[in-house]
């Protein structure tokens, strides 16, 4: 980041546009292997700040694996061998001296299905805050309210904050999971097909939320739904069989695809 920053300041570019072009995530020659198969092949790319970057591609092309590399959830899978480098805010996340929990707290995660923690609605949001060392009940209560309002869930649950989160409907659960992720004040939101299990209304709430959130967060969204990608994407990374085929601003990718595979994919998706 420093060299880019200096160059841009020399050229007298405004602060906002610097923020808009500074890469948050830099991936360099990332390879992932699993039991003899090569899941990600030499992936290198950058993901810019305060944009929605969509990882697009057919099922099984490595989008989810790439997403899970970013907060090292790949550690959970003994079969995965990861090499290469990923820098987030210039920090190498594979550096074993770095505190992995702090790196993960920079990122909020939204999965295909919501997984509320086995506790009350209130505690689902308070949990992450307590991990960050926030003890004041007043601050926690304020944040619970703020983030539940942020995902348009407050009105529906304000009278039963102490009841189990696992009793909410699946759409409410997914919004709760988003609020839970936002409460720890991440820089980046990682979303893995977050609306694939939801009804159309809940999924629209999530999409609208993303558009509103991108002024404050960097959003990385995995999807195979072309229409969703078109509605949301600022940038698109198109993947196929573990490789990045094309990447760039959404208009360019959708209006002027270069490779045959992407043309085919866009055509079939129409």
Partner 1 sequence: MTLRRKWEEKFFHGLSAIVTLLIVLVLVHLVWTIIAKGASSLSWKVVSEPPNGSFYFTGEGGGFLNAIAGSFYLAVSAVILSFLVSLPVALFLNIYLIKVPRLLTACRFFLDVLWGIPSIVYGAFGFLILMYLGYRNSLGAGIITVATLISPIMIRSMDEVLKTIPIGLQEASYALGSTKTETAFKIFFKQAFPGLATAVLLAFGRGIGDAASVLFTAGFTDLVPHSLGDPTATLPLFIFYQLSSPSESVQNLAYAASIVLTLIILVVSITARLLKPKR
How far apart, in whole angstroms, are the C-alpha atoms of residue 205 and residue 212?
A: 11
Left if phi > 0, otherwise alpha if psi is -120 to 50, otherwise beta: which for 171?
Answer: alpha
The SS3 call for residue 112 is: coil
Nearest to 56 by CA among 48, 46, 66: 66
Q: Find the angle CA(14)-CA(21)-CA(232) to the nearest 5 degrees.
A: 120
Q: Is 102 in the site for partner 1 (CB under 8 A)?
A: yes
DSSP string, 174-214: HHHHHHHHHHT--SEEEEESTTTTS-HHHHHHHHHHHHHHT
Nearest-approach distance from CB 108 to partner 1, in angstroms? 7
Give me the sign of the Cα torsion angle 20, 92, 106, 200: positive
Q: Which of 24, 56, 88, 107 binds partner 1 (CB under 8 A)?
A: 107
Distances (CA, A) of 86 to 62, 82, 228: 16, 11, 27
Nearest-approach distance from CB 163 to partner 1, in angstroms? 15
Q: Which of 71, 195, 223, 247 binds partner 1 (CB under 8 A)?
A: 71
Q: Is 132 in the site for partner 1 (CB under 8 A)?
A: yes
Considering the complex, state which of residue 181 and residue 242 has its C-beta at the smaller distance from partner 1: 181
Q: Which of 62, 128, 171, 242 binds partner 1 (CB under 8 A)?
A: 128
Q: Is 20 in the site for partner 1 (CB under 8 A)?
A: no
- Token pair 């689902």 in the structure block, residue: 124
Q: Is 101 in the site for partner 1 (CB under 8 A)?
A: yes
Nearest-approach distance from CB 1 to partner 1, in angstroms? 23
Q: Is 81 in the site for partner 1 (CB under 8 A)?
A: no
DSSP state of 93: T
Q: Is 78 in the site for partner 1 (CB under 8 A)?
A: yes
Q: Is 197 in the site for partner 1 (CB under 8 A)?
A: no
Q: Is 96 in the site for partner 1 (CB under 8 A)?
A: no
Q: Is 244 in the site for partner 1 (CB under 8 A)?
A: no
Q: Which of 49, 175, 180, 214 binds partner 1 (CB under 8 A)?
A: 180
Question: Which backbone phi and psi does 220 adopt, to 5 degrees?
Answer: -115, 115
Total chain residues near partner 1 (CB under 8 A): 29
Q: Is 113 in the site for partner 1 (CB under 8 A)?
A: yes
**What is the binding site for partner 1 (CB under 8 A)?**
68, 71, 73, 75-76, 78, 101-102, 104-105, 107-109, 111-113, 115, 117-119, 127-128, 131-132, 177, 180-181, 184, 190
């Amino acid at each position: 980041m420093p060299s880019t920053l200096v160059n841009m300041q020399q050229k007298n570019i405004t602060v906002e546009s610097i923020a808009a072009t500074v890469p948050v995530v830099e991936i360099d020659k990332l390879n992932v292997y699993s039991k003899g198969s090569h899941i990600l092949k030499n992936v290198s790319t950058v993901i810019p700040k305060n944009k929605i970057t969509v990882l697009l591609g057919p099922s099984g092309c490595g989008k989810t694996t790439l997403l899970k590399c970013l907060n090292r959830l790949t550690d959970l899978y003994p079969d995965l061998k990861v090499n290469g480098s990923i820098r987030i805010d210039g920090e190498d996340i594979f550096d074993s001296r770095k505190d992995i929990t702090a790196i993960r707290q920079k990122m909020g995660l939204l999965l295909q299905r919501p997984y509320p923690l086995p506790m009350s609605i209130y505690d689902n949001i308070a949990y992450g805050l307590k991990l960050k060392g926030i003890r004041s009940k007043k601050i926690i209560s304020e944040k619970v309210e703020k983030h539940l309002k942020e995902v348009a869930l407050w009105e529906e649950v304000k009278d039963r904050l102490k009841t189990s989160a696992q009793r909410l409907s699946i759409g409410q659960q997914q919004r709760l999971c988003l609020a839970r992720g936002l409460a720890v004040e991440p820089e980046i939101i990682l979303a893995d097909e977050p609306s694939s299990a939801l009804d159309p209304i809940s999924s629209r709430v999530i999409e609208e939320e993303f558009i509103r959130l991108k002024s404050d967060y960097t959003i990385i969204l995995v999807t195979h739904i072309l229409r969703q990608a078109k509605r949301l994407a600022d940038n698109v990374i198109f993947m196929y069989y573990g490789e990045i085929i094309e990447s760039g601003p959404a208009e360019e990718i959708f209006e002027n695809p270069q490779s045959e595979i992407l043309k085919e994919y866009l055509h079939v998706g129409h």
